[in-house]
Amino acid sequence: MELTTVNMLRAVQECREAGCHELTRENNGYCEKHQGEAKKERRDKYNDFYNTKEWKHKREYIMKRYAGVCVNCLDEIGEPEDALYVHHIEEIKDNWGKRLDNNNLIPVCASCHKRIHDRYNEGRFQKTHEMQRLKKVLRDCII
């Protein structure tokens, strides 16, 4: 565990893994040995969400609302590709409350989806800039 000022101020607790009595200051409650469990919990939560009726209905609604085209291609080159994904502008890991918000969902093709995530991964500033750009694209979209 990397000791930062924040970690040193956090109370020590037993690991959340059943039967593990290691002490940790980690925010997620898992010791160093069981950090993978924390990641698995988050992954399961998101995967479970994508299999819900709520998400499937919302995804279908967004695709119909924008005629199944990539709104990003439409904005950038004027020639839309077929959308394959409904992208969360603010990712659900960052803002769970916006997972079904129409103003946070944008239909995109595979290549745009990859480019968007590549920009998100370049750093906080680039991610924030890209999210603002996508929100504007969505607001300005006329289909």
pLDDT single digits (tens) 100-126: 999 999 999 999 999 999 999 999 899
Instruction: Find where tokens 């409650």 sit.
Output: 29
Q: Is the pLDDT of residue 1 over 60?
A: no
Cα separation, 23 vs 79, in Å, equals: 56
pLDDT single digits (tens) 12-41: 888 877 788 888 888 778 788 888 766 666
**pTM for this model (two decimals):** 0.70
Summary mean pLDDT of the chain: 87
